[in-house]
Chains A and B, each alone.
Chain A
Amino acid sequence: MKAVAVASAAALALAASPAGAHHSFAVFDRSRQTSISGTVKQFEWTNPHCWIQLLVVDDKGSSVEWSLEGGSPNILGRNGWKRTTLAPGDHVTVLIYPLKTGEPGGSFLEVHKADGTVLYYHG
């Protein structure tokens, strides 16, 4: 099973992937998708990557800030995103590939807003 996951990750690495442009995708664990819910602290609409700074309450009740990386405004904009798509205080659930290091960060794939809107990065 592990071998299958590694093979599919290798295939993705070779393909022209959205995140392939600016830097390697190797820092993310693409064998594992995780959903995290929290409150948007900041939505950074900037090149080369947009960032969602998300405050997530952990098992111990502490608020932890996650840094979630997505596409550039150019790519997200062509997928229907806007600078105002997310605002501080929004409650969202985000599907991510987590960082391999286990630190609070990852590459976001989908964002589910409280009103039911779903926004995509990887098409």
Chain B
Amino acid sequence: MVRQALLGLALAAASLAQAGAEGRHPDLSGVWIISKRSSPGYLDVTGRALDAAPYTAWARDRRAKAEPSADPAARCLTMFPRIMGWPYPIQILQAAKTTVILFEADTTFRQVYTDGRKLDPGDDPAWMGHSVGRWDGDVLIVDTEGVKEDAWLDADGAPISDAQHITERFRLMDGGRSLEDVMTITDPKVFTQPVVKRFVFNLKPDWALKEYVCEEGNRDDVTRPRPGAPGSLSTGPQTSTPAKEGS
């Protein structure tokens, strides 16, 4: 009887170990909306809030000279990592070999490959970058490179360079009702030290993503003005510096 119980325990333990080996990880799938608990600014790698972003002289200069109308987003161009903090829901679809993040904002997506391939953006930079992921216990670690250098890191024109490397650690919190994404941005041409942003998302089981087509009624593309009433960026002095990919 005792032997049977022990055998049962051993089989259960073996089964659990096998489940882990098969990749039965926490399921991040669901519709999520950014929470006010997200960090408003940059943190250092220990999680302490930085008084000011540690920009290099080059990045500070680029940011100081940036006009709001030159923002790629004002021309409906969407970009990572900025989109992670936007006020539109995301939907995560987690499968064995890939995890897809759908963004309502601009009806776009990120694809995170978890099939063991190496991160290789090659010579194909993308607005959302190229991402691979791997599990470390209950944490999905996602590495991203290859974000286009035309992208802005924020709405005030902070640049991103070809020296970028972005690591995110996704994990469920609060019994699965919250999702945390701790993002470390390393880009020595832009920052004098790695910087961290902490995004927190709330689960929205009763929400569905909607369509969002920015080009529909955009008044802010000063390179392609619309007839009719002005947009907020089309008044006052402007500069227009369309990105190569902008047209």
* Shortest Cβ distance from residue A97 to the other chain B in the assembled complex, whole angstroms: 10
Known: A16-B34, A46-B216, A47-B212. A24 touches B229 (CB 8 A): no
User: For residue B73, which residues in chain A have a CB less than 8 angstroms away from its CB?
Assistant: 21-23
Q: Chain A residue with minimal CB distance to B218?
A: A48
Task: Find residues 213-247 in chain B having any chain A CB closer than 8 Å to their own CB.
Answer: 213-214, 216-220, 229-233, 235-236
Known: A21-B88, A53-B229. A72 touches B68 (CB 8 A): no
User: For residue B233, which residues in chain A have a CB less than 8 angstroms away from its CB?
Assistant: 23, 27
What's the Cα separation between A21 and B230 when bound, in Å?
19
Does B229 contact A47, Cβ atoms closer than 8 Å?
A: no
A56 at the interface (CB under 8 A from B): no
Does A16 contact B217, Cβ atoms closer than 8 Å?
A: no
A1 at the interface (CB under 8 A from B): no
What's the Cα separation between A109 and B156 when bound, in Å?
22
Residue in contact with B85 in the complex, picked from A11, A20, A46, A100, CB distance below 8 Å: A20
* Shortest Cβ distance from residue A55 to the other chain B in the assembled complex, whole angstroms: 12
Residue in contact with B220 in the complex, picked from A17, A23, A65, CB distance below 8 Å: A23
B180 at the interface (CB under 8 A from A): no
A112 at the interface (CB under 8 A from B): no
Does B230 contact A47, Cβ atoms closer than 8 Å?
A: no
What's the Cα separation between A21 and B155 when bound, in Å?
8
Of B105, B219, B232, B233, most buried by chain A (CB within 10 Å of CB) is B232
What's the Cα separation between A114 and B170 when bound, in Å?
47
What's the Cα separation between A89 and B95 when bound, in Å?
52
Does A27 contact B68, Cβ atoms closer than 8 Å?
A: yes
A13 at the interface (CB under 8 A from B): yes
User: For residue A106, which residues in chain B have a CB less than 8 angstroms away from its CB?
Assistant: 232
Please report the total number of A residues contacting B with Cβ < 8 Å: 39
User: For residue A16, which residues in chain B have a CB less than 8 angstroms away from its CB?
Assistant: 34, 36, 38, 40, 85-87
What's the Cα separation between A24 and B213 when bound, in Å?
19
Known: A11-B40, A21-B73. A105 touches B87 (CB 8 A): no
* Shortest Cβ distance from residue A40 to the other chain B in the assembled complex, whole angstroms: 13
Does A20 contact B86, Cβ atoms closer than 8 Å?
A: yes
Identify the B interface with A (CB < 8 A).
Answer: 34, 36, 38, 40-41, 68, 71, 73-74, 76, 85-88, 104-105, 155-156, 207, 210, 212-214, 216-220, 229-233, 235-236
Please list the 3 inter-chain residue pairs (A to B) with the smallest Cβ-Cβ separation, ordered nearest first. A46-B217, A101-B236, A24-B155
Could you list 13 examples of A-B contacts with CB < 8 Å? A16-B40, A16-B87, A23-B233, A24-B155, A42-B229, A48-B217, A67-B231, A74-B88, A74-B104, A99-B236, A103-B230, A103-B235, A107-B232
